Amino acid sequence: MASKENQNYSGLLEPLAGDIVETYIRCNFSQPAAITDPETGKKVGVPIFPGSREVSREFFRCNLLNCDIPPGSTVGQGKLACLTAITTQEVEEEEILVKGIMVRRIKKRLRVAHGRYVHEGPVRTHEEFSISPPVPA
């Protein structure tokens, strides 16, 4: 079985042609933000490998932040576990007057956890976290 190790596919929906293999070890597939499921309104991972979702793969110690892996794929557990969090980034801005010009400035960037994907054998479910309001700094 072909495998790839220590590759960075961050922001890509699919690795470059020729890089698609069955097993990924310590690879980064992270996506910038989760997407909203139009049916449920919940935040979910971005589907990776859109052109070959029918091919199941194995992921060990990979960064799968904001990713939805192909159905039937295996995600390592225990020492081989992957990061499977679903997050978005919220930005708090304010407008201030600087030398007579109104400008926007970023006050705070917050990463909000919405859930994670739980992978147990062939079963894959989305687990929602209850989000508490951020504590002011």
Secondary structure in 3-state letters for the chain = CCEEECCECCCCCCCCCCCCCCEEECCECCCCCCEECCCCCCEECEECCHHHCCCCCEEECCECCCEECCCCCEECCHHHCCECEEEEEEEEEEEEEECCEEEEEEEEEEEEEEEEEEEECCEEEEEECCCCCCCCC
pTM of the model: 0.67
pLDDT class of 106 with cuts at 50, 70, 90: low
pLDDT class of 127 with cuts at 50, 70, 90: very low
Alpha carbons within 13 A on the beta-carbon side of 5: 0
Mean pLDDT of 101-105: 79
Range of the domain at 118: 3-85+114-128
Does 92 map to a domain? Answer: no
Q: Which two tokens stand for residue 26?
A: 């310590």
User: What's the domain count of the chain?
Assistant: 1
Mean pLDDT of 52-81: 88
Does 102 map to a domain? Answer: no
Does 91 map to a domain? Answer: no
Does 94 map to a domain? Answer: no
b vs e for 7-27, b when ≥16 Cβ sit within 10 Å of the residue's Cβ? bebeeeeebeeeebeeebbeb
pLDDT at 63: 93
Alpha carbons within 13 A on the beta-carbon side of 54: 0
| pLDDT greater than 60 at residue 133 | no
pLDDT at 62: 93
What is the chain's mean pLDDT, rounded? 76
pLDDT digits (tens, 9 = 90+) for 2-55: 888 999 999 888 777 666 678 999 999 999 888 888 888 888 888 888 888 888
